[in-house]
Amino acid sequence: MAKVVFSFDDKSAKKLKNKKNILGGKGANLGEMGSLGLPVPPGFTITTDVCDLFYKNKKKLPKKVIKNIESELRNIEKKTKKKFGDLKNPLLVSVRSGARISMPGMMDTILNLGLNDKTVEALKRKTTNGRFAKDSYRRFIQMYSNVVLNVEGYLFEELIDNYKLTKGVLLDTDLDESDWDGLITNFKELVKKEKKINFPQDVKEQLLGAINAVFLSWDSQRAKTYRKLNQIPDHWGTAVNIQAMVFGNMGNDCSTGVAFTRNPSTGENSFFGEYLINAQGEDVVAGTRTPQYITKKAKQDAGSNDPSMEEAMPKVYKELAKVFLKLEKHYKDMQDIEFTVESNKLWMLQTRSGKRTAKAAIKIAVDMVKEKLISKKEAIQRIDPNTLDTLLHPTLDDKVKKEVIASGLPASPGAASGKVVFTADEAEKLNGMMQDTILVRLETSPEDIHGMHAAKGILTARGGMTSHAAVVARGMGRPCVSGSSEITIDYESKQFKAGEEIIKEGDIITIDGGSGKIMKGLVPTVQPEISGYFSTIMKWADEFRKLKVRTNAETETDSKTAREFGAEGIGLCRTEHMFFDEERILSVRQMILSRSKEDRDSALEKLLPHQKDDFKKIFNIMSGLPVTVRLLDPPLHEFLPKTDKDIDEVARSLNLAAKEVKDRIAELHEENPMLGHRGCRLGISFPEIYEMQCEAIFKALIELKKSKSKSAFVEIMIPLVSTDTELKILRELVNRTAKKIETENKIKLEYMVGTMIELPRAALQAKSISKYADFFSFGTNDLTQTTLGISRDDSGKFLNDYIDNKIFDVDPFVSIDQSGVGELVELASTRGRKVNKKLKLGICGEHGGDPKSIEFCSKTGLDYVSCSPFRVPVARLSAAQAELRK
């Protein structure tokens, strides 16, 4: 068996490759702090390999590992001149977890291990401090019983609170030795009552019980949830650190604290932290006592009267300040540090790269480049692209209390409050009256687009992270919580139920699209501030990335927003979204329900000027950049009238009886519209639709040229192609229309024709299809649906089960399925470029804004990714990181 237990000062640990993967972050850093000459209490690390052995060995430690642990324990005894379980000078240890990536608060810790009814008396004699010894023992019983024996922690807190109440005191520090003696007896009785066993007195049994508990906590529900949210693999496991105890609770010359070398909220270059005199580590983080500030400045800024550490322990504070600087210089990152002061001597218990807000991450990275601590490349790789979302959208005010009534999927970031409305029309109406609304729907459809735009936020009971509501909301920059199965919507009585809570139309709710939480009432939000630091990081990212970043946009507002965020063109302009405007929907319905070509042409004639004007605006905003216009794609049923009022209106416009219109709607009904009469199939059946759209595109270009206005370079995209013949026929249609417009205006048009690869057959037939294509754009939303045979709108019901059962690592609609869908993308790219060396390749599904998918696109050799406007900065940073990782 390879070595699996390493002391903190073990020279052989230096030879380990990927030290953090084996020793965990905490173990590796404790060893490194020791080698820097910092005061670290002696100890050892049980490696992450043992975690794997533990689970394979029916959740038991192998005997050989136990022998190694006993041997290392003897080394600590030599270094400290104390003995484990000794009745003269007992050694006490802490047992802590340590995964390779910090998972704050997710796994278990036990302090003061080695105390029992006898060693506590020895500790009292040795330190001549009975209160401290008994306080330490009660803490140990409390922690061990909770972590190892699974006795609820609040039961112990209740006993302490009741005791303090009886004695008439407020703080734990007001209790003396005899008080703790009484509570120790009560604690042991509680264990006996709850678990039918005596509290363990054998110190070796205590140690093995604690180590087992830490390994078991890797598989706890909270740790699993944290890993799922942060995409940390389950097989990594945790290490366990055993360390000699140092005591911050021996008196007023002792303390314990947690500090950051810079402010983790703002990024300001000043020490930030808290400490407590006469306390142990968990007191600072548990909130049982109010901690004091470390620096005098922080104390003054907060208006606190309690002395800062700088004032109360000036000598130790100076030493600590030097350690902060040394660690930051060594790790070249902001550090999160835990320390204890025992009898005015400083001990370092942990250092790790500190968690920080996106705002702080950007400021710290830029400042560290200016300070010549790190390079631009390192600065770019320091920032998690996904966190940029929080800088671009309003967020909830952390200082305000919130009443959470339900939760769903965090589909589109940002927070919003408003009156509940159940229809798009009502949202639009109230918006016209300057009232904020949250549109609540079972699920949204393209017909709701005006209401989604008018509402401040969107909440749906169905649909996943890439449902219609999620995709559109992200594009608009609207906060959205989708697929909240915890709410039941009743359209008839205009209310929804969340648990026992009934929310009626007009009631105010708040949604947080970043966490998926739904709250009752109005929760104040904080507006985003885009700093100069943000612009600097984006500028640096652009210097390194090769992958272009475009946006998915079809409105003036979205196009402007995306361009401001640095988009290099439009990768997907969905023309159907332009049809849902009140003025146009009637003409669209006339076109669909017409029985003759003449009627259809008449309706198309009315639509053409609208489409042309839309294109002119977008082409002008995107001047000098490419714009990929997708011709009509969705199933026609999405545009059909549903209410009697709308049916009557269409019937009148077509001089038909309402019954005839209803019959025609029934004729057009499809069992599976997503695989029905849509995309290029519409262009084959009704070429006049695509002709009108091409005419609108080309006339827009001509008018901009004539008025000497700047324009974009147009790429016309044919959707849902599965054969080369479909593309050949429709490319000819585009060219024919262009020729006609060129002849009429005596102006040469420049454009490209390509296709969206969104069907497995199209990917497999890329070689023949590429003969008629100037570009391929991978529509990975539909390609994922058609490859996996999973409907993205219905997958929310079972995808979590698939992730829990490790069938998928991550939702394939959020991050591209690299081994399935990804293989089709790679194959189509290779086959397409074999025939057409100049074939331009891009991706325009939701995956275009996902960092992992962007890295895949970069490796595959795509030319660009396209994403919603508010994801453009995320994609720019991700593309730079992907290039630097190559």
Q: What residues are annotated to the active site?
A: 468, 844
Q: Could you give the C-alpha distances from 477 to 373, 655, 870, in angstroms and in order?
A: 36, 41, 6
SS3 630: strand
Which secondary structure element, helix H or strand E, spans residue 867, and what is its range?
A: strand 864-867
- What is the Cβ-side half-sphere exposure of residue 437, based on CA atoms within 13 angstroms? 28
Q: Phi-psi category of 508—alpha, beta or left, where left has phi over 0 and alpha has psi -120 to 50?
A: beta
Q: What is the residue whose two structure tokens read 């600097």?
A: 536
Torsion of CA 429, 431, 437, 438, to 10 degrees: 80
Name residues whose C-beta falls within 8 Å of residue 226's C-beta, 6 or more positions apart in sequence: 103, 106, 232
* Count of all residues that appear for the chain in the document: 886
> Helix, strand, coil proportions of the chain in percent (round to 5)?
50, 15, 30
- The Cα angle at residue 327 between residues 324 and 331, in degrees rounded to 5: 140
Return d(Cα 388, Cα 739) in angstroms, integer.
Answer: 46
Ordered DSSP codes for 741-808:
HHHHHT----EEEEEEE-SHHHHHTHHHHGGG-SEEEE-HHHHHHHHHT--TTTGGGTHHHHHHTTS-
Handedness of CA 274, 276, 282, 286 (dihedral sign): negative
Task: Please provide the DSSP assignment of 233-282 as one string.
Answer: -GGG-EEEEEEE---S-SSTT-EEEEEESS-TTT--SS-EEEEEES--HH
Rounded to whole angstroms, what are the CA distances from 55 to 51, 60, 219, 333?
6, 7, 10, 34
Residues with Cβ within 8 Å of residue 403, at least 6 apart in sequence = 519, 520, 521
Nearest CA to 215 out of 59, 20, 19, 43 is that of: 59
Distance, in Å, from the CA atom of 249 to the CA atom of 173, rounded to the nearest integer, reads 10
Q: Which of 296, 302, 304, 358 is nearest to 321 (CA)?
A: 296
Q: Which helix (H) or strand (E) holds 7?
A: strand 5-7
Instruction: Report the run of H or E that residue 495 belongs to, with start and end.
Output: strand 495-498
Query: CA-to-CA distance for 467 and 878, rounded, in angstroms?
Result: 23
> Position 761: which residue type?
R
Q: Tell me the two tokens of residue 555.
A: 């409105």
629 DSSP β-pair partners:
573, 716
Contact between 770 and 757 (Cβ < 8 Å): no
DSSP codes joined into one string, 349-411: EEEEEPP--HHHHHHHHHHHHHTTSS-HHHHHHHS-GGGGHHHHS-EE-TTS---EEEE-EEE
Cα dist. 836→324, 628, 725, 726 in Å?
58, 19, 17, 18
Task: Determine the residue type at 498.
Answer: A
